[in-house]
Amino acid sequence: MRTLTELMDDLTRLDGRRFDETVFEILHRGARSIERLRSFAESAEPALKAKIGQSVARQWTRVQELLVNLGPAPLASQGARWALGLGPAQAIVRRALKAAEQGEYEVAACLAAAIEAGEAGGPGAAAGVGGPDAADPLGYDYADLRARLAMASGRPAQAMEALRTYLVPGPWLARARPLYARAALAAGRFREAYPTFAQAALEGMVLGSQSAAFADCIHRTAVAGRVEGWEEMAEAFCEVVEGLAAQVEEAVRAEADPDMRVADALEAVRLAAADMAQSQAVSPRQARALQGELGALLAEVAAAVKAAAEALKIFDGADAETLAARAGIAIESQGYSAVGPGKWLLAVEGFGAADAGDPGQGLAQLPAGVLLAAALGRLEVCACWADGFQVVSLSLPDAPGTRPSDERSSVEHASREQAPAAPEPREVLRMLRGKAPAVAAETLIREARGYLAAHGAGLVRMATETMKAIEKAAREGDLNGTLTVAASWFGAEISDLSAGAEGEGLDDARGEGGGGCEGAARPDGAHGAAAGAGEPGQDAAREAGTSQSEQAYRTAQMLIAAAADGQLPEVQLELIPFLLNKAVTARLEQGTASVLAAHRLRPVLSAMVIESGKRGKRRRELRPDALESTAAAAGGMWDVSRVKVALERLCSVVLDGANRRITADPALAGMAFVCSGMASHDAGQLAAGKALLRFSSALQAAESGEAGRRGEAETFAEMEEAARDAFDALAALDGLPR
């Protein structure tokens, strides 16, 4: 490869295409080579310097991509900025705009910096497309770029100023108006955002009790003269109120069970009840042991729901001042700094506000307790971006004397007796048409806040009473009562298991155990499971599973020996992977339920995922560092992509409740053991997980036809060895508590 000095010498004697290729070769070697080329061009004769500039301009498309791919830091160097200055400014603007649309804000900022410094627009510069402002030769694309960068850095007001010139009839209006409306929403200026994003603006108006902005929206609709505009506004207002009511319900659930302790405890009860219902051989002593374990789980449920009821107490009947103080504590817990009464700031570093332009994104980032407190206390809450800060403001409602006392009492009565009805589009439409804009706006927002307050108070009261009822049933040892009451709050999943808990197997266990779950209150109930671990009935069930596993394993050994001697027909080779898999899965069914239980794996997997997405559109992603650490813990036998697939399948079973048993798949079971071993630092579980993953790899290779079906003896020997290692590793786990 030619040295950089030799390439520089070639520039003094080459012409045409060879000259262009030499220039590109120098640029292609990186930031240092570009800096050398800049120094060479600056010290060269004017003719050669112009020749280099013309060469860069001729091949600007690929030169531009080469510079962009350098990354933000090299792109900010003097050499890269010099190279950017040789290209057409309009092309740089378009490439920077593309980078901003793709979320590469650092690259877009570096390209924009070269333009702002006046370094772009060399020999190949194209004339600007023009715009309403003749002083802006780069046209709308450059304004769009500056607006997107301002939005990404938490400065929507600057974005609005960059786009304001283009909010006139013309070819740019269709592109400028949506981005301008997003900036107005992010800045909390709902009046200016209304023409494009009415519904998103209405949500901020209702939560902020901004009746003046809402009145301006009503006035604009009246001036527009479109009859259907009234109906659209009425429907949008009702949809916003219903959406806020749904968010209040989610906030109540989040405040009642923020760490999923109640859900995990009920899941553990469900698994224990299912085990009792599916037991085939239940002796009286084993039944008592199972009931002791179930009693301990019910006690845990009682403690969890008691804590949930205590957490909801602060919201039940609290005044606006108390709720505002509670919301302030929740806001400061997210890193916000108080700068005054009812105002908090969160600084943006770099381009941390990249998604701030999405409607409602500012409010979505606040804790659930803030929305709940705002709904119950009719607090006026607003979240927006300004000058690189996320600003959250919270203010108390009007003084109680400004509202009719009969209205307040009627709302309180409705919240106690029944859930109030949401606003109807017909009534909203009648009010919009029949009253002055200011009166209609104030009345509708006041009624919406009253509905949300009554709705939230009813949900808090219902949740508190439900938690107390669950606690009472759990402390009394009433399994069916606990699950039935829980179904009213936690949904159909608990309802289904409540019906399954009344099955024949559980009834038999109660009859032979003599006393059902009344033993839950005994002090030694928590140790019942361990005390009965070696009883005859349990040993019989274990021996039955072990004999089934051993039988399949011995049959597979016989077939492997026959295949090694060439005495086994090829059609029977398919039985070997099947039998070994059956032997391992049968062994997994015995003694590993406690480690592979969903309620034990859920917190481990929850710590490995990231929940992202807008409201109602949740997307789960695995953390890259978790993937790498899991792949390393697995012994490096699986790459990160394969570990990711296995973890996603495991999450679908544990976190989403997919209808699949972990013990039926050695790969899932192995990954579960690895994750559990990483969390508990248990070498035995890690060894079991590695052995199962190795067996799964050998099994997959055989079943895919890579070697097993061709009768290669070493493949079967590897499978047998992996199965034997899995048996040994699982046998070492028998001492774990169940």
Which of 464, 499, 531 is the C-terminal boundary of a domain? 531
- Residue owning tokens 């830091």: 73
* pLDDT at position 601: 83
In a domain, 337, yes or no: no
* pLDDT at position 568: 66
Walk along the chain (738 residues) in steps of 10 and give the mean pLDDT of each run.
81 86 86 86 87 86 80 77 78 82 83 67 41 55 89 88 87 86 83 69 85 86 81 87 88 84 80 66 63 80 86 83 86 84 79 53 72 87 82 75 38 45 85 90 91 89 87 82 73 44 40 37 32 39 55 77 71 74 82 71 83 54 85 83 85 75 85 87 87 86 57 72 86 58
Query: Do 568 and 703 fall within a single domain?
Result: yes
Tokens of 542: 């274990």
Query: Do 626 and 666 fall within a single domain?
Result: yes
Query: Do 546 and 519 fall within a single domain?
Result: no
Query: Do 549 and 656 fall within a single domain?
Result: yes
CA distance 422 to 22: 72
Among 122, 145, 15, CA closest to 63: 122
Which of 75, 91, 123 is the C-terminal boundary of a domain? 123
In a domain, 11, yes or no: yes
In a domain, 115, yes or no: yes
In a domain, 623, yes or no: yes
Q: Report the length, in residues, of the chain.
A: 738
* pLDDT at position 364: 63
Task: Answer whether 205's CB lies under 8 Å from 241's CB.
Answer: no
CA distance 295 to 221: 63
In a domain, 412, yes or no: no
Query: Do 581 and 721 fall within a single domain?
Result: yes
Query: Do 520 and 618 fall within a single domain?
Result: no
Full residue range of the structural domain in which residue 489 is found = 269-314+479-531
Q: Taking each helix axis as running N to C, give the angle between helix 437-475 and helix 198-208, from 0 to 180 degrees, rounded to the nearest 10.
A: 70
* pLDDT at position 415: 40
Query: Do 553 and 635 fall within a single domain?
Result: yes
Torsion on CA atoms 72, 74, 79, 84, rounded to nearest 10: -30
- Total domain count, the chain: 3
Query: Do 587 and 525 fall within a single domain?
Result: no
Query: Do 498 and 611 fall within a single domain?
Result: no
In a domain, 155, yes or no: no
Query: Do 682 and 594 fall within a single domain?
Result: yes
Q: Taking each helix axis as running N to C, give the angle between helix 624-633 and helix 666-680, from 0 to 180 degrees, rounded to the nearest 10.
A: 100
571 exposed, middle or buried (CB, 10 Å; 0-12, 13-18, 19+)?
Answer: exposed
* pLDDT at position 616: 44
Tokens of 545: 């599973």
In a domain, 364, yes or no: no
- CA-to-CA dists, residue 184 to 160, 193, 215, 337, 602, angstroms: 7, 5, 17, 24, 41
pTM value? Answer: 0.55
Encoded amino acid at 321, one letter: E
Which of 77, 104, 123 is the C-terminal boundary of a domain? 123
Query: Do 524 and 560 fall within a single domain?
Result: no
In a domain, 283, yes or no: yes
Query: Do 518 and 569 fall within a single domain?
Result: no
